[in-house]
Structure 1
């Protein structure tokens, strides 16, 4: 698995591991690096089967396997204790790590994640899967931004999105890999285990997320013993990209506030233009 280390270099520096969503690649976190690297050792990585981390995924690939792969890759680099910041699938990887490797994980931030798959999200995934299987990779890639970004932001960034589309098609992770990763994501269910995840967890969502209803984050925060819930009013599923300044401020504030673990849910609603 390909890991990249940014920011502070000391072995005892506080470490943040950034885990991407279904796309799986480290580049998703570019809007966060300038804000985080002055304060932390920041690890980004391409998930197995994506980007520079080549590999065939087994049948029955699961969220537990994704978490174990990351834990092993970090251990091989001598990184024994860390916080996990994850977007959607990456956030669920963080919860799985906190559950399976509690001595290694200090805190988790889950961005537009969920406790269990929502019916609306399942419908969106089915539409995307149908496009992939029945139309092809280019149609799948062209549709993806509709689920990630607000309409007005998408309209104002067409040149950027077109360039990203071409990049995604050229480096597509492969149909079998994507479908197995998607199946693992859809099967992830923390309803029975969330109460045992005692680390501080930031649950942050965008109220205009087309893919994952914001109510999923509310349910997740309520199920976790030590959570902070922040609702941003705007930004879509990828609000860490579309409104990076607001997102980064919330994340840094939470990281500072949770130097001592919190014990209750705090709800904040941020109204942004």
Structure 2
């Protein structure tokens, strides 16, 4: 396993694709890990040096104590690129990975090529909602909550047709610590980039899911409208659209990033 020891966190990461290809960073959703991008790797690795990592407190990345912020999460990405001696990269983030990418584009504009914001929003959820989620995790544990949380990730039709893959998502979520999950919930509780996203200068693609119960397609359209020149595409999918529509998702990424 490969790890980068950063100033505030230790991150697990994995690289795929030609060493001399343009670098593409993939940032996971809350409760997922670098593994969530597995459906895209065979195609993306044909065109890019794909850098996946477990956001702090997820997967193989340890969970620092306390609440996290998107400033910290974006800083982790910058330091990971420093560790790998990468000056500039494309970035794709899904759900929580979206605000991480927005913050990265705002704080390190010289280091980003093209930006993909998938199934996300400049403000996800509410303060009360995330506070309640944090308390529920402390009370009930993420292991017990995972099956119900996954029901918001993918549509009922997809779960019925792909029960084994749905279980993979449940198991992925159960591998995180309650502490790490709660720390990232705090970043979502406190994060609101609605007044800032208009300053994003990177070419941007926003991907929405027509049946997304966590970040609606309307929120995706609003995000695209707020970022100068951004393009919006919508898939027939729920929240984790790269699993429900893997081929269509990969095509969108390759076409936009190579464009």
What is the rounded CA distance, in whole Å, between the counterparts of 2:85 and 2:56 in structure 1? 19
Q: Report what 2:3 is aligned to.
A: none
Any stretches of 5+ residues in structure 2 without a counterpart?
1-10
* CA apart distance, 1:139: 2.6
What is the rounded CA distance, in whole Å, between the counterparts of 1:152 and 1:130 in structure 2? 30
* CA apart distance, 1:127: 6.8
Contact residue 117 and residue 187 of structure 1 kept, 8 A: no
Contact residue 118 and residue 216 of structure 1 kept, 8 A: no
What is the rounded CA distance, in whole Å, between the counterparts of 1:101 and 1:93 in structure 2? 12
Q: Report what 1:271 is aligned to.
A: none
Q: Report what 1:253 is aligned to.
A: 255
Of the three residues 5, 18, 24, the one matched with 1:8 is 18
Of the three residues 59, 62, 71, the one matched with 1:51 is 59
What is the rounded CA distance, in whole Å, between the counterparts of 1:253 and 1:8 in structure 2? 18
Contact residue 128 and residue 140 of structure 1 kept, 8 A: no
Q: Go from structure 1 to structure 2 and tell me whether the alpha carbon gap of 1:227 and 1:133 turns closer, same or farther (over 3 Å shift).
A: same
Contact residue 49 and residue 57 of structure 1 kept, 8 A: no
Q: Report what 1:106 is aligned to.
A: 113
Any stretches of 5+ residues in structure 1 without a counterpart?
258-273
Matching of residue 39 in structure 1 with residue 64 in structure 2: no
What is the rounded CA distance, in whole Å, between the counterparts of 1:76 and 1:140 in structure 2? 35
Residue-by-residue CA offset, 1:190-210 (whole Å, 9 max, x unaligned): 222112111111001011101
Matching of residue 138 in structure 1 with residue 143 in structure 2: yes
TM-score (norm 2): 0.89
What is the rounded CA distance, in whole Å, between the counterparts of 2:202 and 2:172 in structure 1? 37
TM-score (norm 1): 0.85
CA RMSD of superposed structures (Å): 2.0
Contact residue 87 and residue 111 of structure 1 kept, 8 A: yes
Q: Go from structure 1 to structure 2 and tell me whether the alpha carbon gap of 1:204 and 1:163 turns closer, same or farther (over 3 Å shift).
A: closer
Q: Go from structure 1 to structure 2 and tell me whether the alpha carbon gap of 1:8 and 1:177 turns closer, same or farther (over 3 Å shift).
A: same
Q: Report what 1:213 is aligned to.
A: 216
Contact residue 117 and residue 206 of structure 2 kept, 8 A: yes
Q: Go from structure 1 to structure 2 and tell me whether the alpha carbon gap of 1:36 and 1:95 turns closer, same or farther (over 3 Å shift).
A: same
Instruction: Give the paired residue count.
Output: 249
Contact residue 32 and residue 169 of structure 2 kept, 8 A: no
Contact residue 194 and residue 223 of structure 1 kept, 8 A: yes
Larger radius of gyration between Structure 1 and Structure 2 = 1
Residue-by-residue CA offset, 1:156-205 (whole Å, 9 max, x unaligned): 22233335434543x2x222221120110232212221121111110010
* CA apart distance, 1:116: 1.7
Q: Go from structure 1 to structure 2 and tell me whether the alpha carbon gap of 1:118 and 1:175 turns closer, same or farther (over 3 Å shift).
A: closer
